[in-house]
Structure formats: structure tokens, C-alpha cells
Chains A and B, each alone.
Chain A
Amino acid sequence: MGFLFELSAGKQQQAAYNYNSDINERNAQVAEQQAEQLVFQEEQNIVDFRKQFDDLQAATSQAFRYNGWIANEGTPLKVALANAQEADEEIATRRYNAKVGREELKEQGTQERMQGTLNRMYGKAARTAGKARAVNSLIQTASAFASV
């Protein structure tokens, strides 16, 4: 009768491994979703940044004008262009960082998937081991019977 329990134990182990594999899969999907969310959120932040930068440029022009400067030529222009250059670099950097973050999250997802695959392989092996142990138990029982 021992062989039946060995068989059942193998199945249980496989079920546990499969469960873990499903969690890994879910974690992978979450990581991918987080990656996309990160890029989207950064783009939203860039839009907000652009508005704030426009306000800054307007304030700069206003200041120049207040100080008597022509806002769209000469130094004010150069200052405006330098600010714009800085803002563009800011946005580019932010986008770059978001992409790197997205890749990291994707890598996490990949790792989860790999763990899931491993768990499924473990489950399969456990089931095979259960079957083998069951047959082993049968052989030992038969041998014991035969030697009686």
C-alpha cells in the first residue's frame, strides 16, 4: 500500500511547484506592467515639466523686460535658449532614466518567469520521483514477499 502514498506525495509536490510557478508568472506580469507604468508616468511628468518651464521662460522674459531688456534678442535670447537647452536635456535625461527603470522591471519579470519555469520543472521531477518511489516500494514489497 505504501506505493499509493508515494504516488500521491509526488502529485502533491508537483501541485505545490505549479502553484509557485503561477505566482512567478503573475509577478512577471506585474513587473512588465510596472515598467510600462513607469514610462507613462515619466511622460506625464515631462508634460508637467514643460508647463512649468514655459512659465519659467515667461518669467525670465518678463524679468528681462522689466529690466529693460528686449526679451527676444541678444542676451535674453541667449538666456532663453540656454534655459531651453537645459530643459531639453532634463527631459532627455528623464526619459532615459524611465527607460532604464522600465528595462529593470522587465528584467525582474523575466526572472520571475524563469523561476516559474524552474518550478514547473521541479514539479514534474517531483511527480516522476513519486512514481519511481512508488514502483520502488512495490519492488521491495514483492521482494520481501518472494523471500518469505
Chain B
Amino acid sequence: MRVPTYSRQTKATAKTGAINFSVRANPGALSQGQSALAGMARSAENAALKWYETETKERRLSELTAAENAFKVQVQNQKIASLDQDPNTILYGNKATGTLSWEAQALQNMNTLANTIEDSKVRSSFMISAQQMILGERVSVYQNARNKQIDIAKANELQAAELLIKDAVQGNAAQRAAATLELFGGTQQVGSPNEPPRTVVGIFDEMADRGLITRTEAFNLTKTTQQRIAKSDFRTRLASADRSGNPDEAAQLVADVMDPKNFPNMKPEDRDTAFTQAVNLEQQLQKRAVQIAEKNETKASREQKNRHSENARDIVARIISANENPDDQTAQSNKPSSLDIANLLASDGISDSFARVAQDLINDVDADVRDPDLIAGIFADISNATTDEQIEDAVARITPNMGVGGTIPLQDALSLLRFADGKKAKTIETTDVEFYRQQLDDITGATAYRISGVGVGQDEIFRQVDAADTYRRLTTDPINPMSGRDAYRTVVEQFFRARKQRIDFLAPAPFLDEYFGGKRPSEWTAEDVSRARIAITTNRNLSQIEKTIEFETLDDITKLIDQRPPPPPPGDPQDGDPGWSSWLPNWWGNSESLSDREDDIRNPG
């Protein structure tokens, strides 16, 4: 039997029990905290740096801008101031006054301003900027200065040229020759005839040589000046001819100006104008000569008219005075005789027509008919006259209408003549009378009727004529003339009362009371008129003109009575009584009966 044995099965391991560690630390992951902290620190640092950079940049920029602005203002002020400075001082300065040139002054200002800047970078930037600024403005300022220099020189030369032109136009022959030579140049013999003549350059050409003006301008100025001188020469001759008043001299000027040889530098259009002026002057002088002759003739005529008018007025006044004062010896002795009239006529003291009228007046022959319209018309013409000639024309209409067959009585004629005298002398009273006459015409409607000629009844026209005539009588009464204002008020009051009472004439209320004893117009009778006429005739307190007016009023009343229809039989409806349809308003108190109207006449206002 086999014997089992045992051999060991397991061998000892070669391992040591230790293993290689695969664990590795990741530096990135491990250091990410510190890396992030470093990033944070970098960010903080960058932010701080950026802030500091920005702040510094801003501060510097602000400082630079402030300095630049301040300097810009200084430069601008300096530039403005340079406009009033002498150009030479601007360009080169003035050592005498210690004034720097514009550029030096600007640089000095720049340095002064730069010294106030602490930051070197800002200062450096400012200096660069300021220098550029100076450079930019310098061109403009210096150009202006040079222009001004040229302008001053040009102005001086032009002024000198003007003086030469004045000499050339107004001077004597020597002055004219010298001025013309200097103006336009030429040659002048100086010294002995053997010596070469001196050549003179004209002032405008010289200006062009100096560069003050261009050659074109010099040519134009020369030409214009020659034309001006030619024109002035012509004007001088024109003025001379005008002063002389001699048409022949003007005619000669016309002939001269027509010839191109004369005034050779004159422009064609100026020559045309000059020709027209010379022709006009010739015509004017001829007309003036005719006018002077006519004037002399007119003056003599006016003097004759004035003489006739004054003498006529004197004669009329003396006749009236004698007629109104038959017991006054002086008045009677002053009454002109036929011999006085004849003498005045012989010495051309009065006109032929007035001599005849005066003769009639001496023989107590006055106009038997009175034309108030004509008299008022002459009065209005005198009032409206603006010249003595117009007044004379109006006065001339008086004499032919006086005396036998005339329509202007002696009293009216004298009144008109005196009013004409006042008008000529422009007295305050006359002006007043004229003013209120116009006012009266306006308020009575006469002006409107005169302009339009329509819209007024015949009765109104009568009242207007009567108002104008009454006003004229009151204001031109030879004995006691009423002022324009008082006459106006009186006539206006009468006019409107007459219109209200529907009568064609003006009558003062006291007159009616006195002669008609308070009767109504419907009760006026022919007997009342006769009694009134007698009372007026025998009244010693009334002047002749007042009596005339009163008589006229009586004439008008007589016409009114004649035109009145016969009274209706008793018991019939009376004229003016209201109809059956108006019983209510009458009952109510608005009656417009004839009796009421008559009462209105008696108690006006």
C-alpha cells in the first residue's frame, strides 16, 4: 500500500503588503481659492487704478479746459481791443509807451497763466494749445492791422484827392492847373525851358503803385474824377447863368453843352442831363423875365385897386355919417361933394363906376331893392378868401351893385368894405367872425346843402339864407358890431326856433313880444304889422341897421299873413286839430295841436 506524504502547497507571496498610492493632489483645484483671491485682488487693484486714472485724467482735463478758456477770453479781448489800436503798435509794439506787440502781449499772457498751473502735464498741454491759439488769431489780427494800415493810407490819399478836386473845381486858374496835374499826372516845365520837364504821377496811379488800390480802381477813380470835374464845371456855369438871370447866358450854355468838344470828360448821360438842365434854365429865365414884367404891371394894378377901394370906403362912410347925423355940422361938412368926386376920378382915386354910384349917393339915391343872397354871397367870398386878390375880387362886386338900380344898399356896402379891411388886416375879430360863420353854415346845414345840393326844402333854404344874412348884419354893424361868438349864438337860437315854428325867416323873440303883444302867429293881422312899422319908424333908440332888420322881419310876417288860408267856418274842424284816430294820444297828453305849436313860438325852449 502506498504511503501518502505531504508536501507544502502554498508558496510565500512576493508581495510586501504595500501598494503604490494612486492618490494625486490637483494643484489647480487645490489652489483655486487662492487663485480666485488673487483675481479678486487684481480686480480691486484694476478698479482702483482705473478710478485713479479716470480721476486724474478728468482733473487734468478740467484744469486744462479752464486754463484754455481763460486764455481764449484773454485772446479775444485782446483781439477786440486791437480793433481800436494803432496798426503799427499791433504789429511791432511801441517802445516809447512800453506797449508790446499783439503777439508778444499774447505770449506774456500765456506765460502768466501757465505759471498758475501746478500740474506739469497740464501746463505743457496748455502751452501747446495756447500757442496754437495765438498762431490762429495772430493771422487774423495782423491781417486786420495791415488792412487798417492800408485803409488809413487809402483814406488819406482819397482825402487829398478830394481837396485837389475841390481846387480843380472851385480854384482859380493856377490852382486848377496844379490840382489837375496832381490828380491826373502829366509833365510840368520847371526852371528854364531847356531843362527837361518834370513828370508828375497822378494821385490815383501813385496809390496803385503803393499797392493801396488796384490798377483797375485807379483807372476808374481817374475817370470818375474827370467826369465829376466836368459835371462841376457845367454846374458852375449853370449856377452863374441862374444868378445872372440872363436867358442869353443860359442859351450859350445850351449851345456849349451840345458840343462834345466842350466838357470832353462828361459822361453821355450826364451830358444829356446837363443839356436838359440848361434848356430848362433858359426857359425858366425867359419865363422869369416875363413874370417880372407881369408882376410890375400887377403891382400897379393892385395899388390902383387898393387906392380906389380905400377912397370909395371913405366916401361911403362920410356919406353915411352925414345922412345919419343931419344936425352934425362936422359930418355935413365932411360929406363929399360932386367936385371931390370929380377930383378923385381925375387923379385915378376912384373908378368910373364908383364915381357914378357916389354921385347917386350924394343925391340920396340908394339902392331901392336889397338882395340878401348877393350880399351874403359877397360876405362869404370875403370870408373864404385866402389872398388879398380874392378879397379885392369880392369887393369889386360891391360897387356895380350900389346906387340906382342896384341891390346893395349903402349900409351893407360899407359893412362889407369894413369887413374886407378887417380880413385884409387879419384882425382877431375878423378871424373870429369867419370861424363862427363857418360854424353857422355847418349847423344850419348850408355847408352840406352847398356841397350836395340835395335833401333840403325851400323853407330851410330861406332860413339858411336869412341866418347867414342876419349873422353878417350883426357882425358887420358899422355902429355896434356884435362879436362872432355872440352873433352865432343869437342866430342859431333864432334859426332853430324858426325851424320848429315852421316859418321861413328868423325873428327875435323880443321883437314879437313888443310889436304883437303876445299874440299867436295865427292871430297876426295886417293891422298889427302896420302898427309895428310905425312904432319902428318912430323909435329913436334903434339904429338904422336895426330898423332895416326889423322892417325886413315885418315884410316876412306880412308875406306869411298873405299866404295864410282863410279861416274855416265856425263849427268846422280847425286847422291843426288832431283827427279822430289820435284822440287817445291827445287824451294822454301828447297833443301837437296848432295852439300848442303857437305856444311854443311864444315860449321857446
Measured CB to CB, the residues of A under 8 A from B are: 53, 56, 59-60, 63-64, 66-67, 76, 79, 82-83, 86-87, 89-90, 93-94, 96-97, 99-104, 107-108, 110-111, 114-115, 118, 121-122, 124-133, 135-136, 139-140, 142-143, 146-147
- Interface contact B7-A59, CB-CB below 8 Å: no
Shortest C-beta distance, A113 to chain B (Å), equals 9
- Would you list 22 pairs from A and B whose C-beta atoms are within 8 A, ordered by A residue? A66-B1, A67-B1, A86-B6, A100-B13, A100-B15, A100-B16, A104-B19, A107-B17, A111-B21, A118-B23, A118-B26, A124-B33, A127-B33, A128-B36, A129-B37, A132-B39, A132-B40, A133-B40, A135-B40, A139-B44, A139-B47, A142-B47
- Could you say which residues of chain A place their CB within 8 Å of the CB of B19? 104, 107-108, 111
Within the assembled complex, what's the spacing in Å between the Cα atoms of A118 and B31? 12
Most buried by A among B8, B15, B50: B8
Within the assembled complex, what's the spacing in Å between the Cα atoms of A51 and B133? 118
- Could you say which residues of chain B place their CB within 8 Å of the CB of A147? 50-51, 54
Within the assembled complex, what's the spacing in Å between the Cα atoms of A132 and B44? 11
- Interface contact B12-A122, CB-CB below 8 Å: no
- Could you say which residues of chain A place their CB within 8 Å of the CB of B290? none
- Interface contact A79-B3, CB-CB below 8 Å: yes
Of the candidates A60, A63, A136, which one forms a contact with B40 in the assembled complex, judged by CB atoms under 8 Å apart?
A: A136
* Residue B563 lies at the interface, judged by CB distance under 8 Å to chain A: no
Encoded as 1 (CB less than 8 Å from any A CB) or 0, chain B from 22 to 64 comes to: 1101100111111111011001101100110010000000000
Shortest C-beta distance, A111 to chain B (Å), equals 5
Shortest C-beta distance, A27 to chain B (Å), equals 12
- Could you say which residues of chain B place their CB within 8 Å of the CB of A89? 8
* Residue B97 lies at the interface, judged by CB distance under 8 Å to chain A: no
- Interface contact A104-B15, CB-CB below 8 Å: yes
- Interface contact B3-A125, CB-CB below 8 Å: no
- Could you say which residues of chain A place their CB within 8 Å of the CB of B33? 124-129, 132
Shortest C-beta distance, A65 to chain B (Å), equals 9
Shortest C-beta distance, B292 to chain A (Å), equals 100
Shortest C-beta distance, B37 to chain A (Å), equals 4
Shortest C-beta distance, B23 to chain A (Å), equals 5
Where chain A touches its partner, the secondary structure class is: helix
Residues 170 to 196 of chain B near chain A (Cβ within 8 Å): none
* Residue B18 lies at the interface, judged by CB distance under 8 Å to chain A: yes
Shortest C-beta distance, B3 to chain A (Å), equals 4
Shortest C-beta distance, A127 to chain B (Å), equals 7
Chain B residue with the shortest CB-CB distance to A122: B29
Given contacts A126-B29, A129-B35, could you give 19 more A-B pairs where the C-beta distance is less than 8 Å?
A: A63-B2, A90-B10, A97-B12, A100-B13, A102-B17, A107-B18, A111-B22, A114-B23, A122-B29, A125-B32, A127-B33, A128-B32, A130-B36, A132-B39, A133-B39, A133-B40, A139-B44, A142-B47, A143-B50
* Residue B11 lies at the interface, judged by CB distance under 8 Å to chain A: yes
Shortest C-beta distance, B288 to chain A (Å), equals 95
* Residue B590 lies at the interface, judged by CB distance under 8 Å to chain A: no
Of the candidates B10, B22, B23, which one forms a contact with A94 in the assembled complex, judged by CB atoms under 8 Å apart?
A: B10
Shortest C-beta distance, B346 to chain A (Å), equals 125
Shortest C-beta distance, B58 to chain A (Å), equals 11
* Residue B5 lies at the interface, judged by CB distance under 8 Å to chain A: yes
Shortest C-beta distance, B18 to chain A (Å), equals 6
Within the assembled complex, what's the spacing in Å between the Cα atoms of A59 and B10? 22
Known A97-B10, A99-B17, A111-B23; contact A79-B5, beta-carbon cutoff 8 A: yes
- Interface contact A129-B32, CB-CB below 8 Å: yes
* Residue B589 lies at the interface, judged by CB distance under 8 Å to chain A: no
* Residue B567 lies at the interface, judged by CB distance under 8 Å to chain A: no
* Residue B326 lies at the interface, judged by CB distance under 8 Å to chain A: no
- Interface contact A93-B12, CB-CB below 8 Å: yes
Known A89-B8, A111-B21, A127-B33; contact A64-B3, beta-carbon cutoff 8 A: yes
Q: How many A-B residue pairs have CB under 8 A?
A: 131
- Interface contact A93-B4, CB-CB below 8 Å: no
Chain B residue with the shortest CB-CB distance to A63: B3
Within the assembled complex, what's the spacing in Å between the Cα atoms of A63 and B3? 5
Within the assembled complex, what's the spacing in Å between the Cα atoms of A129 and B40? 9
* Residue B9 lies at the interface, judged by CB distance under 8 Å to chain A: yes
Known A108-B19, A111-B22; contact A125-B39, beta-carbon cutoff 8 A: no
- Could you say which residues of chain B place their CB within 8 Å of the CB of A122? 26, 29-30
Chain A residue with the shortest CB-CB distance to B9: A90
Within the assembled complex, what's the spacing in Å between the Cα atoms of A102 and B371? 177
Of the candidates A76, A114, A131, which one forms a contact with B21 in the assembled complex, judged by CB atoms under 8 Å apart?
A: A114
Within the assembled complex, what's the spacing in Å between the Cα atoms of A97 and B4? 26
Shortest C-beta distance, A1 to chain B (Å), equals 17
- Interface contact A118-B35, CB-CB below 8 Å: no
- Could you say which residues of chain B place their CB within 8 Å of the CB of A146? 47, 51
Shortest C-beta distance, A13 to chain B (Å), equals 9
Shortest C-beta distance, A109 to chain B (Å), equals 11
Within the assembled complex, what's the spacing in Å between the Cα atoms of A139 and B41? 9
- Could you say which residues of chain B place their CB within 8 Å of the CB of A53? 6
Most buried by A among B13, B31, B40: B40
Within the assembled complex, what's the spacing in Å between the Cα atoms of A126 and B31? 9
Within the assembled complex, what's the spacing in Å between the Cα atoms of A4 and B41? 18
Shortest C-beta distance, A86 to chain B (Å), equals 5
Shortest C-beta distance, B36 to chain A (Å), equals 3
In the A-B complex, the 3 residue pairs with the smallest Cβ-Cβ separation, listed nearest first, are A103-B17, A128-B33, A132-B36
Chain A residue with the shortest CB-CB distance to B21: A111
- Interface contact A139-B40, CB-CB below 8 Å: yes
Of the candidates B5, B10, B37, B47, which one forms a contact with A143 in the assembled complex, judged by CB atoms under 8 Å apart?
A: B47
- Interface contact A125-B9, CB-CB below 8 Å: no
Within the assembled complex, what's the spacing in Å between the Cα atoms of A101 and B484? 164
Of the candidates B13, B37, B46, which one forms a contact with A132 in the assembled complex, judged by CB atoms under 8 Å apart?
A: B37
Known A115-B23, A124-B33, A129-B36; contact A83-B6, beta-carbon cutoff 8 A: yes
- Interface contact B25-A118, CB-CB below 8 Å: yes
Within the assembled complex, what's the spacing in Å between the Cα atoms of A25 and B377? 152
- Could you say which residues of chain A place their CB within 8 Å of the CB of B8? 86-87, 89-90, 93
Shortest C-beta distance, B52 to chain A (Å), equals 11
- Could you say which residues of chain A place their CB within 8 Å of the CB of B37? 128-129, 132
Within the assembled complex, what's the spacing in Å between the Cα atoms of A87 and B5? 11
Within the assembled complex, what's the spacing in Å between the Cα atoms of A28 and B290? 156
Within the assembled complex, what's the spacing in Å between the Cα atoms of A93 and B14? 11
- Could you say which residues of chain B place their CB within 8 Å of the CB of A103? 16-18
Shortest C-beta distance, B375 to chain A (Å), equals 107
- Interface contact B32-A56, CB-CB below 8 Å: no
- Interface contact A67-B18, CB-CB below 8 Å: no
- Interface contact A136-B10, CB-CB below 8 Å: no
Shortest C-beta distance, B34 to chain A (Å), equals 8
- Could you say which residues of chain B place their CB within 8 Å of the CB of A101? 13, 15, 17
- Could you say which residues of chain B place their CB within 8 Å of the CB of A56? 4, 6
Known A100-B17, A115-B23; contact A140-B43, beta-carbon cutoff 8 A: yes
